Structure 1
Amino acid sequence: MSATLTRAILFSGAVAATIGLAAAPAQAVPVTLSEGHVDVVDIAYEGGTLELGLHDETGTTPVERDPAEVTLHVRPEAETTVPGIAAYSFLGSPGDPVWILPQTQNTDLLYAGWAAHEVPAGAFRNDSVQLKLTAVSGPADVSVYDVSQGTPTKRFDSGDGLPDTVTVPAGTHHHTNWAFEAEGDYTLTFQATGELINGTTVNSAPVTYHFTVG
């Protein structure tokens, strides 16, 4: 084989390899979030499809993230104890440890909620969609609840059976308390559903969110 032909073959191979490398999809970098504003479940309706993502406002520029690439860290500073009030018994026995991301902002912790800013007004019956917690995996139970004038109202609670469902009005977002009854790793699986004005029901794919506590 001539030197010229050999160089041509090598050059062609190098070009092909370069093209192959350029065509390879970029790999997302895993992210851990541990403080700041985050819409854990970000509901969107686009192109006839309901989708769930994660809206990260912990930095200077908001970022839409794939939940599969995010770990939500519930820092040790979130640890507190179950109040000695019967209305809070769903968190455990009075004095038991519990790790809570609060509905009022604490700059040392995640300020976590859900949002439907990307659900347009007028698309769904009652101008709202349903958000369901379908499964929880982890070392203990998880509760998501609101507190108004000292009284808790449960939104989701893996301790009394799932699925649990909340109504989310289009264009809104909501902050709430996220309580974990032990340290460790958890997965929470959510799904959204809604009835369009024309009577058609649409469902998002189930999406799993990852938390680590402690």
Structure 2
Amino acid sequence: MNTTLGTSRGTRARRRATLVGAVAGSSALLLTLLGAGPSQAAGSAGTIDIGHVDGLHVALNEDGDQLVLGSNVDEDEFLPGSSFEPGYYPGSEVNAATGTPQYDFTVPQANFNYEADTHPNTWVLPADEPSSFVDNPILYLGIAGTGEDLARHGTSGPDVAYGLFNSLSATDHITFNITLVSAPSGGTSQFPTPQTFDLGGSASEPIHHHFDWTFNKAGVYKFRVTASTDNAAVAASAPVTYQFTVED
């Protein structure tokens, strides 16, 4: 699988990627699960199904001694018609019915056969933003880490996602591990894991990256994600299980 690694945000209007901090040791993982459970309802806070969102997002806890995972929605014009406001959505706010965050993600039909040459008959969260994205948006989901404190939305959990530079430096590294834990019967998902980044991006966003993430069948997929760092003073995050509903 071809991916563009270590990308940063471009302009708000077009988002063409430019290279930033190094990415190391990434390998493509293809997983198949048989006989998984029935479809789950959307998150109680809603579902994100269109636009640019940093779905897997890392920050620090209030004490600066542990990584925390959530999602960051920072530009509401990239979520047309969505109820989601800009801000940080903690992964710690869990929907008891699904065991996932209060929000979830829907991969719409518009993402099907999106990269027909490289991923035929497949739903794709793409590595590269399409030139038509502003006028014809799809779900465009990536990994990011904040260099600044972010106000959160929700009803519980921390008031703020704290910037990574409160405890880490540009030479430290963060590794994301993604594990598929459930899928529709015969469902497969392909994505690079683990992914390791230095914090050499911008002061406000030291990590920002998109990669091809594929799904071969409609239905509900759940992924357990953790983030860790090579700085011994900062503990790894608690695992967060993100839910994706792929639409037929």
One-letter amino acid of the structure 1 residue matched with residue 190 of structure 2: S
One-letter amino acid of the structure 2 residue matched with residue 129 of structure 1: I
3-state SS of the aligned residue for 2:235?
strand
Residues 172 and 230 of structure 2 are in contact (CA less than 8 Å); yes or no, is this contact kept in structure 1?
no
Taking structure 1 as reference, are residues 168 and 143 closer, same or farther at Cα in structure 2, changes over 3 Å only? same
Taking structure 1 as reference, are residues 82 and 41 closer, same or farther at Cα in structure 2, changes over 3 Å only? closer
Partner of 1:35: 50
Q: Deviations over 1:48-78 (max 9, x none)?
A: 1110001123525522113411121111111
Which one of the candidate residues 165, 187, 209 is aligned to 2:194?
Answer: 165
TM-score by length of 1: 0.65
Name the count of aligned residue pairs. Answer: 158
**1:64 correspondence with 2:88:** yes
Looking at structure 2, the residues matched to 69 and 201 of structure 1 have their Cα atoms a distance apart, in angstroms, of 26
One-letter amino acid of the structure 1 residue matched with residue 210 of structure 2: H
Aligned Cα root-mean-square deviation (Å): 2.6
- Report the structure, 1 or 2, having the larger helix content: 1
3-state SS of the aligned residue for 1:202?
coil
Which one of the candidate residues 141, 154, 167 is aligned to 1:112?
Answer: 141
Displacement after TM superposition at 1:191 (Å): 0.2
Displacement after TM superposition at 1:83 (Å): 5.7
**1:138 correspondence with 2:183:** yes
Taking structure 1 as reference, are residues 195 and 201 closer, same or farther at Cα in structure 2, changes over 3 Å only? farther
One-letter amino acid of the structure 2 residue matched with residue 101 of structure 1: L
Task: Note the 1:157-196 alignment, pairs <5 A.
Answer: 164-170=193-199, 171-196=206-231
Computing the radius of gyration from Cα coordinates, the structure with the larger value is 1
Looking at structure 2, the residues matched to 36 and 58 of structure 1 have their Cα atoms a distance apart, in angstroms, of 9
Looking at structure 2, the residues matched to 136 and 124 of structure 1 have their Cα atoms a distance apart, in angstroms, of 33
Residues 36 and 57 of structure 1 are in contact (CA less than 8 Å); yes or no, is this contact kept in structure 2?
no
Looking at structure 2, the residues matched to 49 and 122 of structure 1 have their Cα atoms a distance apart, in angstroms, of 9
Partner of 1:123: 168
Structure 1, unmatched stretches of 5+, are 1-27, 145-154, 156-163
TM-score by length of 2: 0.56
**Higher relative contact order structure (alpha carbons within 8 Å, sequence separation ≥ 6):** 2
One-letter amino acid of the structure 2 residue matched with residue 59 of structure 1: D
Taking structure 1 as reference, are residues 43 and 81 closer, same or farther at Cα in structure 2, changes over 3 Å only? closer
